Amino acid sequence: MSIEIKDIHFSYGKVKALEGVSLDLPQGAVGLLGPNGAGKSTLIRILLGFLSPDNGGGRVLGYDIKDEQTEIRRYVGYMPEDDCFIPGLDAVSFTSYLGELSGMPSQEAMKRAHEVLFYVGLKESRYRKLETYSSGMKQRLKLAQAIVHDPKLIFLDEPTSGLDPQGRSEILELIMDISSKKDIQVLISSHILPDIELTCKYVVILNKGKLAAQGDISELKEIRDLYEIKVKGEAGGFLRKLKAMKCKVEETEDEILKVYWPPKQNRQEIFRIAAEEKIQLRHFVKSETSLEDLFAQVVGVD
Amino acid sequence: MTIKEKGYSHWDGEFLARKFPWWPITRYGIKLTFQRKFFKFIFPMSLLPAIFYLAGIYVSERLEDFPFLRGETIQFLQIGPNYFKTYFTQGFMLFIMLMIVIFCGASLISDDLKHNSLQLYFSRPLKKKDYFLGKSAVIVFFLFIITLIPGLVFFIMKLIFSGSLKFFLSYPWLPLSIIGYSFIVTGFFSFYTLFLSSLSKNRRLVAILIFGVYFLSDIVYLIFRREFRSHYVSLVSLRSNLQQVGAHIFGQKAPYDVSWIFSFLVLLGICVVAGFVLKSKVKGVEIVK
């Protein structure tokens, strides 16, 4: 396992950012999800050694996150969320510079910088000053600097933010290509759920600093069945009874009820309650659970 | 077929076990400084005093060829520790050092703060110590070019022009003074510049601070001297402290009637405070509480 952490606690003063988070992540692409303030960036910063956990510990690529941060950073690539560059440099010098800082020999860093800039699609503009780059180009450049030293593990923090649809799909293609290499693990933190669904098989969901769920996306989706129901009549009592059975219900704008039904319970119960409440079920369809549904259910937001 | 079409490819090289992991920071810092238009003008100008003093050493050995030289000029050309002290501690030379650190040092940290690039440095196998060493080595490089190197060249050229070892035998400690003072003045300006550079994301503001704090300390000193008529008020002036320490290191009479130790402690204190501030200001992540 590339990332194993146990019982991580971290606070910014009185604000608890992470509370008892334990992870054991498999190879391949892993999505890190959570609403704002869930602790995603804090977790990445702890894994990179920018922050030291108050409690708990763990290993990244076999190196201790508290004592061997420098070694971790040699084999890890990091694509930060914010715009970040070094003014005055062109893309080749910038990427090669960061390769050298990772420990690559100067000439090889330069050669590799050209390669990765070609790879991320900055071939034509690699000699342009970074100050003149657009947001999309900066995003590609950040990916280039994260992979220049051929890391074993890559942290991507919001890799598609600020990109147009075409740029987004190109970056996702690159991420899928990188993560398809069996010896490279990618951890993607993103708000854009379809991006995670497209690129990752495994997902970690954080909520309010705690681990809300983790596992294979396909398996997590199976935890609860999702039914779309349309009713005729006063649905108040029906909804109350469903909720009393620990069943999460959401009402959409077109008056469809999305009912997350616990799998061990018999779905005939839904019909029984409807009969009890004297309402008609006009529409009853088992729906495909999307990552968005799963996220909404686990985190409790729409 | 482009590399993108080929897909991601691995790098098959080996990482270097660098003894000085900060060296790329210094190399790129020097390269970026030389790209600045004003610096291309200022830097050659900063070498003029060294050329002038070197010419003085040559003339001092050929006074008979320059019969028009009189009085104070002849006295100035008496090459000894005082000649070196004058070169290193004269107000104009300190001003040139200040200009050099403004152009090479003001943006060293402030640009990284402005463009969020600290996280790029610290996501590499670098420690804070390496980052500071890399950045300060840029300042050290440029200041040594106008302090340590000319100082040692003056000494060697004096021996060559005089054609004997008499000067060396008279002042065997002088090379150590040159090295010692160069390290002190360079070390001080490195801490001073990096400290001010870490206070703002605006490199122009940092340049004004570097210039302003230096001269403000001098102005405050002049005001206090009128008020209190005490030599101790010279301790508030950065220039006076550097001159006081320089005079002691070159074995000359101090310009102020204050122990050089106090001046040295003031400079050291500034460096220590700067070190603490730098340590707390420079982080891989900006934490908004």
Tell me the pLDDT tens digit for each residue of B153-180: 999 999 999 998 999 999 999 999 999 9
C-alpha distance from residue B274 to each of A210, B188, B220, B277, B281 (Å): 39, 10, 21, 5, 10
From B139's Cα to the closest Cα of chain A, the distance in A is 18
Q: For B169-201, give the DSSP string.
A: HH-TTHHHHHHHHHHHHHHHHHHHHHHHHTS-S
**Which tokens go with B98?**
């200040």
Interatomic CA distance for residues A274 and A219, integer angstroms: 30
Helices (H), A75-156: 91-101, 106-119, 135-147
B29 inside 8 A of chain A by CB: no
CB contact under 8 A, B8 and A78: no
Q: Tell me: the pLDDT tens digits for A130-189?
A: 999 998 899 999 999 999 999 999 999 999 988 888 889 989 999 999 988 768 899 999
Q: Do A118 and B3 touch (CB under 8 A)?
A: yes
Question: What residues in A contact B127, CB-CB < 8 Å?
Answer: 70
Whether residue B274 lies inside any domain: the answer is yes
CB atoms within 10 A of CB A180: 13
- Closest-approach residue (CA) in chain A for B118: A84
Domain A3-220 has CATH 3.40.50.300: yes
B123 vs A73: CB contact, 8 Å cut-off? yes
pLDDT score of A259 more than 80? yes
Q: Is residue B3 part of a domain?
A: no
Report the percent of chain A where pLDDT is more than 70.
Answer: 96
Return residues 90-119 of A near B (CB < 8 Å). Answer: 93, 97-98, 100-106, 108, 112, 115, 118-119
Nearest CA in chain A to B113: A84
Enclosing domain of residue B206: 21-281
Domain ranges of chain A: 3-220, 223-299
Number of domains in chain B: 1
Q: pTM of the full predicted structure?
A: 0.85
Residue B209 lies in a domain: yes
Beta strands in chain B (DSSP E): none
Topology annotation, domain A223-299 = Alpha-Beta Plaits (3.30.70)
Establish if B9 belongs to a structural domain.
no
Domains A3-220 and A223-299 share a fold: no
Question: So what's the pLDDT on residue B249?
Answer: 96
Taking the C-alpha atoms of residue A206 and residue A41, their distance in angstroms, rounded to an integer, is 11
d(CA B69, CA A72): 68
Q: Determine the straight-line distance between the first and last CA of chain A, rounded to whole angstroms.
A: 33
**ipTM value for the complex:** 0.88
B31 found inside a domain = yes
Identify the pLDDT of residue B1: 41
Place of tokens 């959401």: A250
